């Protein structure tokens, strides 16, 4: 492996690594715009120039690979002067509108100018002013802020495999343009806002909504399909302001699709259940958690006493966490003696969509079908069991906010003696329940999912659920307590530890060991 000197420090890097990447890997910042680790190298912005002992001129460090014995200087006076001049060029026509720019606080033009630029401008000429372009979909192009790095153009060519954007004209007149007849409606489009190093590409969904330094970030997992992309939830005052991708080479590279990016709006519009509910004749009335849980535990205790556990069934969910599905199994199998476990999943939607980089948007829109099956088994057809009169008491755990219950299925549910439902929002299941328990959705709870490739990832709660709504694992831990002499699980990590001892697929897993990127379990 080539060994070379970087600012006097000896560094070893893989052959074929650029000087820029080797520097970044060893914690030395070289400012850059056109270089992006996932895209082809074009060496066009000239901001990454460094001094090399065997070259009479400065070289672009993104386009020069490491070689044995070379000496690189990234902070010499010549380099500093070149950087300062390049930044002066980038700012010639820039409107310096950071106070109203959404990128402020995470902008590489702002940061580099502060660190490496000049404190004043020699520019006395009028600036060129170009109107903002709407590129279609959610994307606005603030043309005066562009540094012409072409990351956005290359994203479509290298990652998506289709051309949407191009550079029109040359030199001073260069402009980012969309191919005629196209709008930026491709499912992967939101990523260009993330990789644009400056405030040129702006997402209308976030426009003027918040200053980024006021947002908190919580690591999470997208529940939009069985890819389970790693995401960051960015939130403030118990509200999500945006979802950003989180790098995970084993899962989503560093991208997310727009279905997942804007998914949080779906949850904002839900009619939440509000309070635990119990049936009184035709009506559902609000009740306390203690009463709701005691109705369920009394009914289940009666089943146990009268040795009628074969009448009880449990429907776990591909939309619920491993911890929720596991606790269901623990209560109903270990405490009640039930052996009828099913997994609810929605019909897949169309075909999987695979782009050039291999990133896939799955047609299975559940985040945890694989995890739920590992815990509860492969049975899914609980409707025929109800139809055949084999189920009288049903506990239905449902995390799918788009569940559709047909009229025929409603009639089947009415045949049950007892229907207990744990649900995120009001729907037909809740309306037919004897007891309904309001549960949190993914951003309001902690837990883990297993994606379509068998990769298990954890996520943490970012928001507080509404006051009488609880995290799903907590509801089930409270129910478990009623059978276990008041003793139960105190954290989601506790549940994972127990699951690791009792479900072979999760052997040796702990919430801590899952780390930020998760683990492959098959």
Residues at the contact surface with ligand FES, assessed by CB under 6 A: 32-35, 43-48, 60, 62
Cβ proximity to ligand SF4: between 150 and 234 the closer is 150
Which one of 39, 152, 424, 436 is in contact with ligand SF4 (CB under 6 A)? 152
Query: Which of 23, 91, 361, 479 touches ligand SF4 by CB under 6 A?
Result: 361
Q: Which two tokens stand for residue 432?
A: 């037919």
Residue 32 interface partner, choices ligand SF4, ligand FES, none, CB cut-off 5-8 Å depending on type: ligand FES
**Residues contacting ligand SF4: total by CB under 6 A:** 24
The residue among 44 and 209 lying less far from ligand SF4, judged by its C-beta, is 44
What element of type H or E holds 386? helix 382-387
**Rounded CA gap, 346 and 410, in Å?**
16
Near ligand SF4 by CB under 6 A: residue from 31, 60, 117, 228: 228
Distance, CA of 223 to CA of 229 (rounded, Å): 8
Q: Does 229 bind ligand SF4 (CB under 6 A)?
A: yes
Q: Which tokens hold the place of 420? A: 């207990």
Bridge partners of residue 369, in order along the sequence: none
**355 near ligand SF4, judged by CB under 6 A:** no
- By the rule CB under 6 A, 423 interacts with ligand SF4: no
With CB atoms as reference, the residue minimizing the distance to ligand SF4 is 260
CA dist 360 → 152, 159, 187, 251, 353 (Å): 20, 12, 11, 10, 6
318 near ligand SF4, rule: CB under 6 A = no
201 binds, among ligand FES, ligand SF4, none (CB under 5 to 8 A by kind): ligand SF4
Residue 62, contacted partner among ligand FES, ligand SF4, none, CB below 5-8 A by kind: ligand FES
- In angstroms, rounded to a whole number, what is the distance separating the alpha carbons of residues 151 and 40? 9
Work out what residue 472 binds among ligand SF4, ligand FES, none; the CB cut-off runs from 5 to 8 Å by kind.
Answer: none
Q: Which is nearer to ligand FES, 108 or 471 (CB)?
A: 108
At 30, list the tokens.
């070289």
CB atoms within 10 A of CB 438: 25
Comparing CB distances to ligand FES, the nearer of 90 and 441 is 90
Q: What is the DSSP string of 290-329?
A: HHHHHHHHHHHHHHHHTT-GGGEEEEEETTS-HHHHHHHH
CB of 36 to ligand FES, least distance (A): 9
Q: Which residues in the 184-223 window bind ligand SF4 by CB under 6 A?
A: 196, 198, 200-201, 222
Q: Judging by DSSP bridges, how do beta strands 59-60 and 49-52 pair with one another?
A: antiparallel
d(CA 239, CA 464): 9
Q: In Å, how far are 103, 149, 151, 167, 238 from 34, measured between CA atoms?
A: 17, 4, 6, 14, 36
- Say whether residue 158 binds ligand SF4 (CB under 6 A): no
| Rounded Cα distance, 174 and 154, in Å | 16
d(CA 103, CA 5): 35
* Best CA proximity match to 252, nearest among 323, 318, 190, 344: 190
DSSP reduced 3-state for 215:
coil
256 binds ligand SF4 (CB under 6 A): yes
200 binds, among ligand SF4, ligand FES, none (CB under 5 to 8 A by kind): ligand SF4
User: Applying CB under 6 A, which part among 74-82, 140-148, 320-328, 454-462 lies near ligand SF4?
Assistant: 140-148
312 touches ligand SF4 by CB under 6 A: no
Residue 87 binds ligand SF4, judged by CB under 6 A: no
Q: Does residue number 399 form part of the binding site for ligand SF4 (CB under 6 A)?
A: no
Residues 381, 340: Cα–Cα separation, whole Å: 11
Stretch that binds ligand SF4, among 81-89, 148-156, 208-216, 493-501 (CB under 6 A): 148-156
Contact yes or no for 245/252 (Cβ under 8 A): yes
225 interacts with ligand SF4 by CB under 6 A: yes
Residue closer to ligand FES by CB (options 36, 340) is 36
Distance CA 265, CA 209 (A): 14
Q: Which residues contact ligand SF4 (rule: CB under 6 A)?
A: 146-152, 176, 196, 198, 200-201, 222, 224-225, 227-229, 252, 256-257, 259-260, 361
């Amino acid at each position: 492996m080539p060994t070379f000197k970087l600012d006097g420090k000896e560094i070893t890097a893989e052959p074929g690594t650029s000087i820029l990447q080797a520097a970044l890997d060893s914690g030395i910042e070289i400012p850059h715009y056109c270089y992006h680790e996932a895209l082809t190298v074009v060496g066009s912005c000239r901001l990454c120039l460094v001094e090399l002992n065997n070259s009479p001129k400065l070289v672009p460090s993104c386009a020069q690979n490491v070689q044995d014995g070379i000496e690189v200087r990234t902070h010499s006076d010549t380099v500093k002067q070149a950087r300062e001049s390049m930044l002066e060029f980038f700012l010639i026509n820039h409107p310096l509108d950071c106070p109203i720019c959404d990128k402020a606080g995470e902008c590489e033009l702002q940061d580099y100018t502060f660190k490496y630029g000049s404190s004043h401008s020699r520019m006395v000429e009028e600036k060129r002013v170009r109107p903002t372009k709407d590129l279609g979909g959610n994307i606005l192009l603030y043309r005066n802020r562009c540094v012409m790095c072409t990351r956005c153009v290359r994203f479509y060519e290298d990652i998506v495999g289709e051309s949407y954007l191009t550079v029109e004209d040359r030199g001073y007149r260069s402009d980012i343009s969309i191919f005629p007849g196209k709008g930026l409606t491709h499912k992967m489009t939101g990523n260009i806002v993330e990789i644009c190093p400056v405030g040129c590409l702006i997402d209308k969904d976030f426009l003027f909504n918040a200053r980024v330094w006021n947002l908190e970030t919580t690591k999470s997992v997208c529940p939009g399909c069985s890819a389970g992309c790693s995401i960051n939830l960015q939130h403030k005052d118990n509200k999500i302001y945006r979802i950003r991708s989180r790098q995970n080479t084993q899962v989503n590279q560093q991208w997310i699709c727009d279905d997942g990016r804007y998914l949080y709006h779906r949850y904002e519009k839900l009619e939440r259940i509000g309070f635990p509910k119990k049936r009184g004749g035709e009506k559902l009335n609000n009740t306390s958690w203690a009463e709701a849980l005691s109705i369920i535990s009394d009914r289940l205790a009666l089943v146990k006493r009268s040795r009628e556990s074969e009448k009880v069934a449990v429907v776990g969910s591909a939309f619920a966490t491993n911890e929720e599905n596991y606790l269901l199994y623990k209560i109903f199998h270990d405490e009640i003696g039930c052996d009828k476990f099913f997994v609810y999943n929605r019909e897949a939607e169309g075909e999987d969509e695979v782009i050039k980089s291999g990133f896939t948007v799955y047609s299975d829109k559940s985040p945890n079908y694989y995890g739920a099956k590992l815990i509860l088994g492969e049975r899914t057809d609980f409707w025929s069991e109800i139809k055949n009169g084999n189920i009288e008491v049903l506990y239905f755990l449902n995390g799918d906010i788009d569940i559709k219950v047909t009229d025929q299925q409603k009639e089947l549910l009415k045949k049950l003696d007892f229907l207990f439902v744990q649900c995120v929002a009001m729907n037909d299941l809740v309306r037919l329940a004897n007891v309904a328990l309001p549960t949190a959705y993914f951003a309001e709870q902690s837990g883990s999912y297993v994606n379509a490739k068998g990769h298990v990832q954890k996520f943490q709660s970012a928001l507080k659920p509404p006051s009488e709504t609880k995290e799903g694992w907590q509801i089930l831990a409270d129910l478990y307590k009623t059978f276990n002499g008041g003793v139960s699980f105190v954290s989601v990590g506790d549940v994972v530890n127990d699951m690791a001892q009792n479900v072979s697929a999760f052997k040796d897993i702990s919430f801590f060991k899952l780390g930020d990127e998760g683990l492959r379990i098959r």
